[in-house]
Amino acid sequence: MNKEAFKSEAKATIDTLFRKIDTLEHKKDNIREDLRASIESQLAELRKQQHELHERYDQLAAAGAGSWEEVKTAFSKSAGHFRKAVSNISEQFNH
């Protein structure tokens, strides 16, 4: 995949993940009381990670040929961890 295609796919990925967090934020008041504090804490942590992932995307967008592979790998790794964290918290809304 070329650099521009990867950046486009990366942007779509973070946009989708960030929308999922917004959706979870809106749903949190409707979850069981015994889960709410844990969910709120996890959402706060996701917001921090969201900022970090956005910074990785900015680095990706600005990367030159010399640093492209390193920045691409770092973004992919961060995005994977973030996707897993979003998935884990989403599952809790189904209990």
What is the tens place of the pLDDT at every residue in 40-94?
999 999 999 999 999 999 999 999 989 999 999 999 999 999 999 999 999 888 7
Tokens 């918290």, residue located: 89
Band of residue 7 on the pLDDT scale cut at 50, 70, 90:
very high
Domains of the chain, residue spans: 3-92
pTM of the shown model: 0.85
Q: In whole angstroms, what is the distance from residue 87 CA to residue 85 CA? A: 5
Compute the distance between CA of residue 68 and CA of residue 90 in angstroms, rounded to an integer.
Answer: 32
